[in-house]
Amino acid sequence: MTQNRRVLLASRPAGWVSEQNFRIEDAPLPQPAEGEVLVKNLWLSLDPYMRGRMSDAKSYVKGVELGEVMVGQTVGEVLESKNPQLKRGDKVLTQLGWQLYGAASDVVKVDEKRAPLSYYLGLLGMPGMTAYFGLKELGQPKAGETVVVSAASGAVGSVVGQLAKIAGCCAVGIAGGPAKCDYVKRELGFDACIDYKAGNLDEDLRAACPKGVDVYFDNVGGATLDTLLRRMNLFSRIVVCGLISEYNATEPYGLKNIRAMLVNRIRMQGMIVFDWKERYGEALQALAGDLSAGRLKYRESVVEGLDRAPQGLIALLKGQNFGKQLVKLA
């Protein structure tokens, strides 16, 4: 008989996440109620925000309780439908989390003819929407300006830089190591990419951005953000999208260069992608259009099997992924 298998939060990490924070168990197959569908999950998305949900600190969304299935988006196939809008065989985007099967009513049908199913968790999903709205609405880049983005080879950052190029800007990435930087420049077409691990971020930024920085799309926070503050132009914008360098830290970094915000009248704004929920359709159209026209490239980092999801998340949080981190479930 088919059984479900799921990954639960077993304990809350203090500092870095470890495999001991998770428990993996078999469970009976869920039964869909009226209005629900039974879904077999095919792909699970692993995302940096999951570190925050493992904690009980106050945030923009409630954390996962101990003993609950780890939160996460999946793409799956409808096996049984008690919802007149959906039929067996439909492919859907869900919030079913780290498990092989689930029953839900809040699923969104996706079109596998338009793009591979996994893309709805990355380029055409939440990370792509984050790049699209964060850059367009908060970064507000104008042709000829310089846009810098950190975690530039990743799910969000790779899209930000490519959209900046499409908008006629100079795109400069920041990434860890020569292989990622090479990919960002050669494959994604950024004008430059700085290896922050080489240890000369300030000087390298000066060289790569001779006219200063007009938009900094920040995915990492910490020392990188502090260094960028010194390179920002008058009336420039900083999009605070993520602080991954601080997610496993027990103390906040503490910025030193805040004075630059006053002197240069910098606008720095935090973003959460849900704030544009009503406009996801617009972003999907735009991103899918750029993808099919060959203007957007995209890369994935895949671990195989649900049981390896904890290792996949730990690798992502250590920056060992190279592209959008996914778990292939089936």
Ligand X SMILES: NC(=O)c1ccc[n+]([C@@H]2O[C@H](COP(=O)([O-])OP(=O)(O)OC[C@H]3O[C@@H](n4cnc5c(N)ncnc54)[C@H](OP(=O)(O)O)[C@@H]3O)[C@@H](O)[C@H]2O)c1
Rounded CA-CA distance 317/325 in Å is 10
Q: Which stretch binds ligand X (CB under 6 A): 11-19, 126-134, 138-146, 253-261?
A: 126-134
Rounded CA-CA distance 237/67 in Å is 41
* Residue 313 lies near ligand X (rule: CB under 6 A): no
* Residue 318 lies near ligand X (rule: CB under 6 A): yes
* Residue 245 lies near ligand X (rule: CB under 6 A): yes
> Which position among 153, 185, 283, 306 is part of the footprint of ligand X (CB under 6 A)?
153
One-letter amino acid for residue 311 of the chain = Q
> Would you say 27 or 240 has its CB closer to ligand X?
240
What is the DSSP secondary structure assignment for residue 245, as one 8-state letter? G
Burial class (CB in 10 A: 0-12, 13-18, 19+), 294: exposed
**In the complex, least distance from residue 135 CB atom to ligand X, rounded to whole angstroms:** 12
* Residue 327 lies near ligand X (rule: CB under 6 A): no
> Which position among 17, 163, 232, 241 is part of the footprint of ligand X (CB under 6 A)?
241
Task: Report how many residues bind ligand X under the rule CB under 6 A.
Answer: 31
**In the complex, least distance from residue 304 CB atom to ligand X, rounded to whole angstroms:** 18
> Which position among 22, 40, 48, 163 is part of the footprint of ligand X (CB under 6 A)?
48
> Which position among 69, 321, 327, 329 is part of the footprint of ligand X (CB under 6 A)?
321
Q: Which stretch binds ligand X (CB under 6 A): 5-13, 75-83, 113-121, 265-273?
A: 265-273
For 251, left (φ over 0), alpha (ψ -120 to 50), or beta?
beta
> Which position among 41, 74, 118, 219 is part of the footprint of ligand X (CB under 6 A)?
219
* Residue 124 lies near ligand X (rule: CB under 6 A): no
Contact predicate 4/30, CB 8 Å:
yes
* Residue 21 lies near ligand X (rule: CB under 6 A): no
Rounded CA-CA distance 303/323 in Å is 12
How far from each other are the two terminal CA atoms of the chain, in whole angstroms?
Answer: 17
How far is residue 259 from each of residues 24, 187, 194, 265, measured CA to CA in Å? 48, 37, 25, 10
Q: Which stretch binds ligand X (CB under 6 A): 30-38, 228-236, 237-245, 287-295?
A: 237-245
Q: Which residues pair with 78 in a beta bridge?
A: 39
* Residue 154 lies near ligand X (rule: CB under 6 A): yes
Contact predicate 79/88, CB 8 Å:
yes
> Which position among 27, 49, 91, 166 is part of the footprint of ligand X (CB under 6 A)?
49
Sign of the Cα pseudo-torsion (240, 245, 246, 248, in order): positive
> Which position among 36, 47, 290, 300 is part of the footprint of ligand X (CB under 6 A)?
47
For 92, left (φ over 0), alpha (ψ -120 to 50), or beta?
beta
**In the complex, least distance from residue 316 CB atom to ligand X, rounded to whole angstroms:** 6
> Which position among 123, 220, 232, 306 is part of the footprint of ligand X (CB under 6 A)?
220
> Would you say 99 or 245 has its CB closer to ligand X?
245
